[in-house]
């Protein structure tokens, strides 16, 4: 009898390169050296042998169609392979020309959350120290920027305080705008494991009936964008009922008086009118959360991607602080990150500051880094420059003339994507560096640099709970693609021939440099090295020289504001996002599906994943659909004040009659509709609230679009 089994000769470990859960994967390699299988690593603390569907098939991305094989140069509108030497010379030469003509900041570097920390660090050194542009940001502005600023405002520094283990100890979990089962399935599994051992209430705040909302004990089907009013009402009730931790507040927080004053008007009734949640339920949640010995808050894009994302994060921090949950085992607040190494860029990329959570704004930090890197300190700007969401406007205004886009796909992922495409066309120079040459942004590139995928090189990722894990090369780079670290180093050589600034070639050496730099900082790496990570497994920072590691931050109540305390802030609710009207009566909510990742450059080509969601869809409430004469699987035209797109109708009571939901993964789809409206602190776009209308559409054009998505 035939049994399907694979001829696996050896297993090699790498951390998953999709989301930031940080699952460790063992890849099975056959006798020909091909990677043919994947399984969760049993001894990995994060995933304990488990993987989600994307992880299970992650080896298939290595040979997926569209892998980039050669550096390309565009001549007369057509790409031709040119070899690395020519490509790098061209790139460096043209960067210099643009900067000479239009100033240092006219060349922008757009990074990602998908590279190794060593690569981010190297790119930061290159961009800050050699290229010297202050137009430097990553796509992390699209996902976690609000959390970063929220943490900074509350605690004085970035860094998620809690960890997965807290799930095992908590007495109450509240999740804001997080669809854990679909977006972070393995963390959800950790939650289920915890629930089997000890039952505690789960409260899910989400305008859509997600799988997480369904399994929750209490689902708060909040009106989109009104989370601040809800959280303020919880704080109001907790203070009113005396459920706060007075001692903790006194000892560790500032601003309480002003804060409690600001909460006065957020009675449950007032909040109810704003949020569309009845006052009784708000009272119940406040009682459960406030009454729990330890209560944990998690959130994802539902909070971050709004006009008040940073406020939302700080409001959750407020809630955790007044109940004394920050730093407490089973308590704390934890932003659940989207990209495998968004954390790494926060720590070491120098995008928003300088390595090791140093600040551009601090003279001391600038001088330190200039000395450490052996650069002229005057090259470092005195404050952070443009964020990603400002850059496309700057291109329109002629302030940015050249751009280097690394492992991100803004023409699909940026709000108001049409405008982004038009902007990219205006550039004198666009360099796109990606592992896939069919990434849609590459169409507008002048130079394309083929990068290797994560498992084709060595380096570390930091996951959501600050756990640093090592990925070792499990196979050779695809054709003539090169590790990003190599590309950055070559670019450095091209741009600065003095060799004054040292760029180590090996990732492990880069890591050691970072470890030295981080000693004594919040993200202390000094107790780690590649060798140690390989021998002892993934380790949470801070990990100081003694090699210890800390599961949660702020257990000692010491925060990073100058006074060592955390800030309680009044965060009044105000409605700043796009509003519906008669012409655009529906609120568009966007999000992920479990089987796709980001802009599908990887998952879209793995047939066993892509089959689950092969084309864009729009979830419509049955009542709304009936009014519009739409039935299941009809093609629907969705129109916002900016553009329109077509998607399949999925008629479902999961969404409210006044809103629709669309996945964010597809090119030429959801982000044509979304509005470029950003959080004032973080610059993160409000993807989740924009006004649209829907109508049934004529089939032929729609069918063509759908086919294009399917055959991607």
Residues in 162-191 that interact with another protein by CB under 8 A: 171-172, 181-182, 185-186, 188-189
Residues 36-95 interacting with another protein (rule: CB under 8 A): 37-38, 49-53, 56-57
Residues 190-209 interacting with another protein (rule: CB under 8 A): 192, 195-196, 198-201, 209
Residues 228-247 interacting with another protein (rule: CB under 8 A): 243
Size of the site for another protein (CB under 8 A): 74
Mark the segment that binds another protein (CB under 8 A) among 83-91, 117-125, 449-457, 608-616: 608-616
The distance of closest approach from Cβ of residue 164 to another protein in the complex, given in angstroms and rounded to an integer, is 14
In this chain, which of 73, 95, 167, 288 binds another protein, going by CB under 8 A?
A: 288
The distance of closest approach from Cβ of residue 195 to another protein in the complex, given in angstroms and rounded to an integer, is 7
The distance of closest approach from Cβ of residue 50 to another protein in the complex, given in angstroms and rounded to an integer, is 6
Which of these, 285, 312, 289, lies nearest to 299 by C-alpha position? 312
Residues 487-506 interacting with another protein (rule: CB under 8 A): none
3-class secondary structure per residue, 371-405: HHHCCCHHHCCCCCCCCHHHHHHHHHCCCCCEEEE
In this chain, which of 609, 646, 677, 691 binds another protein, going by CB under 8 A?
A: 609
- Of the pair 227, 634, the CB lying nearest another protein is at 634
Residues 643-682 interacting with another protein (rule: CB under 8 A): 648, 650, 652-657
What is the rounded CA–CA span in Å between residue 489 and residue 496?
10
Give the burial string for 366-401 (b: 16+ CB within 10 Å, else e). Answer: bebbbeebebeeebbbeebbbbbbbbbebbeeebbb
- Of the pair 52, 487, the CB lying nearest another protein is at 52
Residues 691-710 interacting with another protein (rule: CB under 8 A): 699, 706
The distance of closest approach from Cβ of residue 706 to another protein in the complex, given in angstroms and rounded to an integer, is 8
Mark the segment that binds another protein (CB under 8 A) among 385-393, 416-424, 464-472, 606-614: 606-614
Which of these, 306, 144, 315, 142, lies nearest to 225 by C-alpha position? 306
- The residues facing 80 across adjacent strands are 73
In this chain, which of 500, 631, 680, 695 binds another protein, going by CB under 8 A?
A: 631
In this chain, which of 617, 666, 687, 712 binds another protein, going by CB under 8 A?
A: 617
Burial class (CB in 10 A: 0-12, 13-18, 19+), 97: middle
The distance of closest approach from Cβ of residue 189 to another protein in the complex, given in angstroms and rounded to an integer, is 4
Query: Does 386 contact another protein by CB under 8 A?
Result: no
Q: Which residue has the tokens 């959360």?
A: 289
Helix (H, G, I), strand (E, B) or coil at 285: helix
What is the rounded CA–CA span in Å between residue 540 and residue 611?
36
In this chain, which of 100, 612, 680, 708 binds another protein, going by CB under 8 A?
A: 612
What is the rounded CA–CA span in Å between residue 212 and residue 440?
32
In this chain, which of 70, 118, 615, 679 binds another protein, going by CB under 8 A?
A: 615
3-class secondary structure per residue, 471-523: ECCCCCCCCCCECHHHHHHHHHHHHCCCCCCCCCCCHHHHHHHHHHHHCCCCC
- The residues facing 648 across adjacent strands are 617, 635
Contacts of 214 (CB under 8 A, 6+ apart): none
The distance of closest approach from Cβ of residue 483 to another protein in the complex, given in angstroms and rounded to an integer, is 27
Helix (H, G, I), strand (E, B) or coil at 81: strand
Residue 428 has what DSSP assignment? Answer: S
């Amino acid at each position: 009898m035939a049994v399907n089994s694979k001829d696996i000769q050896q297993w090699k470990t790498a951390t998953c390169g999709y989301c930031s859960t940080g699952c460790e994967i063992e890849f099975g390699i056959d006798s020909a050296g091909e990677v043919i299988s994947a399984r969760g690593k049993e001894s990995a603390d994060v995933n304990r042998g488990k993987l989600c569907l994307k992880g299970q098939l992650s080896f298939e991305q290595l040979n997926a169609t569209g892998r980039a094989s050669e550096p390309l140069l565009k001549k007369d509108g057509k790409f031709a392979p040119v070899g690395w030497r020519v490509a790098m010379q061209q790139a460096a030469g043209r960067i210099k020309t643009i900067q000479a003509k239009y100033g240092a900041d006219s060349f922008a570097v757009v990074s990602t959350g998908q590279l190794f920390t060593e690569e981010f660090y190297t790119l930061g050194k290159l961009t800050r120290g050699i290229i010297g542009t202050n137009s430097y940001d990553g796509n992390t502005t699209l996902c976690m920027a609000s959390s970063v600023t929220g943490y900074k405002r509350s605690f004085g520094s970035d860094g998620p305080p809690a960890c997965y283990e807290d799930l095992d100890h908590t007495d109450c979990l509240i999740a804001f705008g997080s669809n854990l089962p679909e977006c972070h399935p393995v963390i959800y599994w950790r939650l289920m494991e915890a629930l089997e051992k000890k039952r505690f209430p789960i409260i899910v705040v989400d305008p859509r009936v997600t799988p997480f909302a369904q399994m929750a004990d209490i689902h708060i089907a909040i009106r989109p964008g009104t989370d601040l009013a809800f959280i303020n009402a919880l704080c109001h009730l907790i203070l009113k009922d005396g459920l706060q931790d007075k001692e903790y507040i006194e000892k560790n927080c500032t601003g309480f008086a002003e804060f409690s004053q600001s909460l006065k008007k957020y009675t449950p009734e007032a909040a109810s009118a704003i949020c569309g949640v009845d006052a009784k339920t708000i009272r119940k949640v406040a009682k459960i959360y406030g009454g729990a010995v330890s209560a944990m808050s998690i959130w994802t894009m539902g909070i971050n991607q709004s006009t008040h994302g940073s406020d939302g994060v700080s409001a959750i921090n407020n809630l955790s602080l007044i109940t004394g949950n920050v730093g407490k085992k089973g308590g704390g607040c934890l932003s659940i990150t989207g990209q495998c190494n968004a954390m790494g860029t926060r720590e070491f990329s120098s995008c928003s500051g300088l390595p090791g959570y140093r600040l551009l704004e601090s003279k001391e930090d600038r001088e330190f880094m200039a000395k450490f890197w052996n650069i002229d300190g005057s090259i470092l700007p005195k404050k952070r420059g443009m964020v990603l969401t400002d850059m496309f406007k700057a291109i329109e205004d002629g302030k940015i003339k050249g751009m280097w886009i690394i492992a991100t796909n803004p023409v699909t992922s940026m709000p108001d994507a049409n405008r982004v495409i038009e902007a990219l066309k205006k550039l004198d120079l666009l360099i796109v560096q990606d592992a896939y040459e069919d990434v849609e942004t590459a169409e507008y590139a002048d130079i394309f640099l083929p990068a290797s995928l994560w498992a084709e090189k060595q380096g570390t990722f930091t996951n959501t709970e600050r756990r640093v894990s090592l990925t070792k090369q499990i196979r050779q780079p695809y054709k003539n693609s090169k590790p990003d670290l190599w590309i950055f180093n070559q670019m450095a050589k091209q741009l600065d021939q003095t060799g004054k600034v040292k760029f180590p070639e090996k990732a492990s050496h880069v890591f050691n440099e970072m470890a030295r730099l981080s000693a004594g900082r919040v993200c202390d790496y000094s107790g780690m090295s590649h060798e140690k990570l390989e021998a002892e497994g993934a380790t949470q920072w801070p990990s100081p020289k003694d090699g210890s590691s800390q599961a949660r931050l702020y257990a000692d109540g010491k925060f990073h504001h100058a006074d060592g305390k955390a800030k309680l802030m009044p965060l009044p609710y105000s409605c700043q996002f796009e509003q519906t009207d008669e012409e655009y009566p529906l609120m568009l909510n966007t999000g992920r599906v479990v089987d796709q990742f980001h802009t599908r450059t990887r998952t879209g080509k793995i047939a066993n994943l892509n089959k689950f969601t092969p084309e864009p869809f729009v979830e419509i409430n049955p009542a709304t659909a009936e009014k519009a004469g739409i039935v299941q699987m009809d093609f629907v035209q969705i129109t916002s004040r900016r553009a329109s797109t077509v998607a399949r109708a999925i008629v479902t009571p999961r969404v409210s009659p006044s809103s629709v939901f669309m996945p964010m993964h597809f090119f030429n789809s959801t982000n044509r509709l979304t509005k470029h409206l950003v959080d004032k602190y973080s610059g993160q776009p409000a993807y989740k609230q924009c006004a649209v209308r829907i109508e049934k559409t004529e089939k032929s054009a729609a069918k063509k679009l759908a086919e294009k998505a399917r055959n991607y």
